[in-house]
């Protein structure tokens, strides 16, 4: 029976990826690597280790793991200086309603400092489990982040639904054996075709979630 809902954060809960992209573009330029916003959106959801490996390889250079933490701190510094992040309209209210009937979790490739800030600011007291980029060795598109969320929630694979907006996030959820709903926030919908269902936008996502809640409440009262 469905008991839990697991959300990606950037692009599903908060409209933040344009600022993440700008920060990574600036950090990459400082390393002599040229990337574009579309490059970032393609690898959205990967933790910073995988992202940095990709940046270095794109430039034909070998990764330097010893520098990863310093580069991440520089990215966080830039992000915080430019970000004006807001939750998507209606999502905070939707989560508060869902909280009464479901266990809720976040699985994000973002660093813990950033994720904690957004959750405390926009969604306090909502989530039962949070998995961030630093919490796993193999981030999205590997299944480890979602498998860790299942472990933290203490649920089986058939007890949850994942909501994702990025190709790597969908791949991660499906490799973990989970039902995945796609929302094409920053990429064309066809790039999320591996999801079990692809919705049009956040308004349709909220309608979908309220329908699930209504069905659960009806079944509980029958």
Same fold, 4-16+86-221 and 17-82: no
Domain boundaries, the chain: 4-16+86-221, 17-82
Chain center to CA of 205: 15
Query: CB count, 10 Å around CB of 56?
Result: 17
Cβ neighbors of 7 (< 8 A, separation 6 or more) are: 13, 104, 105, 106, 107, 162, 163
Q: Which fold has domain 17-82?
A: DNA polymerase; domain 1 (1.10.150)
DSSP per residue, 21-33: HHHHHHHHHHTT-
State the Cα–Cα distance between residues 141 and 158, nearest whole angstrom.
20
Q: Domain 4-16+86-221 in CATH: superfamily? A: HAD superfamily/HAD-like (3.40.50.1000)
- Over residues 159-214, the pLDDT tens digits come to 999 999 999 999 999 999 999 999 999 999 999 999 999 999 999 999 999 999 99
The pLDDT tens digits for 20-46 are: 889 989 988 888 888 888 888 878 777
């Amino acid at each position: 029976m469905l008991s839990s809902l697991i959300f990606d954060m950037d692009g599903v809960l908060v409209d933040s990826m344009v600022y993440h992209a700008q920060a990574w573009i600036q950090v990459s330029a400082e390393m002599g690597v040229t990337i574009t916003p579309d490059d970032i959106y393609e690898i959205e959801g990967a933790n910073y280790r995988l992202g940095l490996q990709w940046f270095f390889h794109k430039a034909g250079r070998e990764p330097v793991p010893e520098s990863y933490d310093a580069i991440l701190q520089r990215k966080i510094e830039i992000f915080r200086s430019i970000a004006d992040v807001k939750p998507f309209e209606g999502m905070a209210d939707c989560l508060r309603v869902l909280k009464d009937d479901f266990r809720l979790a976040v699985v994000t490739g973002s660093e813990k400092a950033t994720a904690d800030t957004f959750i405390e600011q926009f969604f306090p007291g909502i989530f039962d489990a949070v998995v961030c980029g630093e919490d796993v060795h193999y981030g999205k598109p590997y299944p480890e982040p979602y498998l860790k969320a299942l472990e933290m929630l203490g649920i089986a694979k058939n007890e949850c639904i994942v909501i994702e907006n990025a190709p790597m996030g969908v791949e991660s959820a499906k490799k973990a054996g989970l039902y995945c709903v796609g929302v094409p926030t920053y990429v064309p919908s066809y790039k999320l075709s591996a999801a079990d269902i692809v919705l049009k936008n956040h308004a349709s996502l909220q309608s979908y979630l309220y329908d699930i809640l209504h069905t659960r409440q009806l079944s509980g009262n029958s």
